[in-house]
Chain A
């Protein structure tokens, strides 16, 4: 079976890192990047409208009682 090409982002993340020569960790990171890509895609697909100044509640604090 042909090996999948290494995700170039793994190399960037691991440059000068303790994982740079650790194949097992790089495989784990590659798998997790794929999962993370899926999360990001799902959120991007929600079609937020560009340039609308809607309030971002959880970057400030809202209180009630």
Chain B
């Protein structure tokens, strides 16, 4: 097996270990990933900006520190990419939007600063759906960079809105990536691209410097090779931030032994698998694997009586249109790639304050009811989606894949979750396993996912694109 392929299968933690043990330098690793990121830029539409010069300067500094016996932590010297809605001094932050192609925001997002302090090396800004899909988009082409292509099959979509984060991670063009989720934007690309993506609890990670789509739903989280990677990345980026009053005041520490010796009671969310037999089979295999640790499973359903998805939809539309009001009322809205999105953003301005407040009021009651599930279960589990990656070429409405999805209630409630690879579907494209927990339960979620990844190798599998060079 080629040496490069061997390295590309590594988790971020393992790459950090190699740097610390002087088996590889951060500079050589950064050069290797930069080469692959260039392939991902043109082959996958996964990149907004490559930051080679600053990356190599940072990598050189990290190597110097290693030589001096200094080590900042598990991400020391590990190259990564950030979704292009996190601002970076001196580097364009385009929000995936043709209307913002020349935008440079003169501040570093808190997440960017924290990762630099942790020793990680930013090698690029990763492509995304324009404005993170605000106004709702109709096809994969809703991006400044074109449709986000899936490295497992270039005709298929990488998912959105963190398209580039999912695709670049799957293609081993970065050691790890940062994505964001308002409603599905981490879990969907994680499932489609076959990577591990953690949506943290609302408020766990500062959003200072992140584009606001929906103040009461936006979350920033890691996308990586393994669940354990997600844990150490979350530890680096989480915690209080004077620049963001919604950031939790309690720091997060990843504790890999959180569920050692514990037998969890896990609720299995119910789906109609009539047109998703392979997904059901793979899901049963996953439950069987987790059952070997002594965890028990029982059927779970979201409590009736609340229109969870409609509430989430109205709140996202109202806040998204408020966030971009000046832009929507300007001529620049015409520059967006997706006409449906242009119309949706303008339409959102017509939601009355009374209806928005009513939705938030009802949300509070809905969340209280949703949280009663935690009286019965430690965690919930389900396939992330009932479909493999859908086409990048055909408008979404013209595709009939059964979607499934568990995101509306969880995002409404601020719950954390992870999507990890659980095998492949009929078209040999990745499927995702989603583990959901109550607020602030990231350690439990991450450790259950890590147990699953101890027994499986799905997260180590690499797509055919790009081919490792000789």
Q: Which positions 353-377 of chain B face chain A at CB distance < 8 Å?
A: 355, 357-365, 367
B331 in contact with A18 (CB, 8 Å) = yes
A29 in contact with B343 (CB, 8 Å) = yes
B355 in contact with A61 (CB, 8 Å) = no
| A43 to B361 alpha-carbon distance, docked (Å) | 10
| 7 nearest A-B residue pairs (beta carbon) | A28-B343, A32-B347, A58-B216, A57-B364, A29-B343, A39-B314, A42-B310
User: Please, which residue of chain A has its CB at the minimum distance from the CB of B357?
Assistant: A56
B interface, over-half SS = helix
A48 in contact with B342 (CB, 8 Å) = no
B residues adjacent to A (C-beta < 8 A): 203, 216, 245-246, 248-250, 306-307, 310-311, 313-314, 317, 329-331, 333-334, 339-340, 342-344, 346-351, 355, 357-365, 367, 414, 439-440
User: Please, which residue of chain B has its CB at the minimum distance from the CB of A12?
Assistant: B350
Partner of A54 from the list B216, B331, B359, B361 (CB cut-off 8 Å) is B361
Instruction: Please give, as numbers and ranges, the residues of chain B lying within 8 Å of A19 by CB-CB distance.
Output: 342, 346
B311 in contact with A63 (CB, 8 Å) = no
| A57 to B364 alpha-carbon distance, docked (Å) | 6
Chain A: interface size category: 20 to 34
B307 in contact with A43 (CB, 8 Å) = yes
Q: Mark A24-65, 1 if CB is under 8 A from B, else 0.
A: 110011011100100110111010100000111111010111
Distance (whole angstroms) from the CB of B459 to the closest CB of chain A = 28
- Given A43-B314, A46-B307; A65-B358 close (CB under 8 Å): no
Instruction: Please give, as numbers and ranges, the residues of chain A lying within 8 Å of B249 by CB-CB distance.
Output: 63
| A57 to B439 alpha-carbon distance, docked (Å) | 14
Instruction: Please give, as numbers and ranges, the residues of chain A lying within 8 Å of B349 by CB-CB distance.
Output: 13
| A36 to B192 alpha-carbon distance, docked (Å) | 29
| A21 to B184 alpha-carbon distance, docked (Å) | 35
| A8 to B188 alpha-carbon distance, docked (Å) | 37
Residue from A13, A17, A43 with most neighbouring chain B CB atoms (10 Å): A43
B365 in contact with A43 (CB, 8 Å) = no
Instruction: Please give, as numbers and ranges, the residues of chain B lying within 8 Å of A63 by CB-CB distance.
Output: 203, 248-250
- Given A32-B344, A56-B361; A43-B334 close (CB under 8 Å): no
| A33 to B349 alpha-carbon distance, docked (Å) | 10
Instruction: Please give, as numbers and ranges, the residues of chain A lying within 8 Å of B334 by CB-CB distance.
Output: 18
Instruction: Please give, as numbers and ranges, the residues of chain A lying within 8 Å of B350 by CB-CB distance.
Output: 9, 13, 33, 36
Show 27 A/B contacts (Cβ-Cβ < 8 Å), sorted by A. Answer: A17-B346, A18-B330, A18-B333, A19-B342, A28-B339, A28-B340, A28-B342, A28-B343, A29-B346, A39-B317, A42-B307, A42-B310, A43-B307, A43-B358, A43-B362, A48-B358, A56-B360, A56-B361, A56-B364, A57-B363, A58-B364, A58-B367, A59-B360, A61-B245, A63-B249, A63-B250, A65-B248
- Given A13-B346, A46-B306; A64-B314 close (CB under 8 Å): no
User: Please, which residue of chain A has its CB at the minimum distance from the CB of B332?
Assistant: A18
A61 in contact with B311 (CB, 8 Å) = no
Residue from B245, B358, B367 with most neighbouring chain A CB atoms (10 Å): B358
Instruction: Please give, as numbers and ranges, the residues of chain B lying within 8 Å of A17 by CB-CB distance.
Output: 329, 346
B310 in contact with A43 (CB, 8 Å) = yes
| A18 to B343 alpha-carbon distance, docked (Å) | 11
A61 in contact with B250 (CB, 8 Å) = no
| A63 to B346 alpha-carbon distance, docked (Å) | 34
Partner of A58 from the list B329, B351, B363, B440 (CB cut-off 8 Å) is B363
| A61 to B314 alpha-carbon distance, docked (Å) | 20
- Given A18-B334, A58-B216; A25-B343 close (CB under 8 Å): yes
Instruction: Please give, as numbers and ranges, the residues of chain B lying within 8 Å of A54 by CB-CB distance.
Output: 361, 364-365
B358 in contact with A44 (CB, 8 Å) = yes
B362 in contact with A48 (CB, 8 Å) = yes
Instruction: Please give, as numbers and ranges, the residues of chain B lying within 8 Å of A65 by CB-CB distance.
Output: 248, 250, 440
Instruction: Please give, as numbers and ranges, the residues of chain B lying within 8 Å of A42 by CB-CB distance.
Output: 307, 310
B364 in contact with A44 (CB, 8 Å) = no
| A30 to B363 alpha-carbon distance, docked (Å) | 27
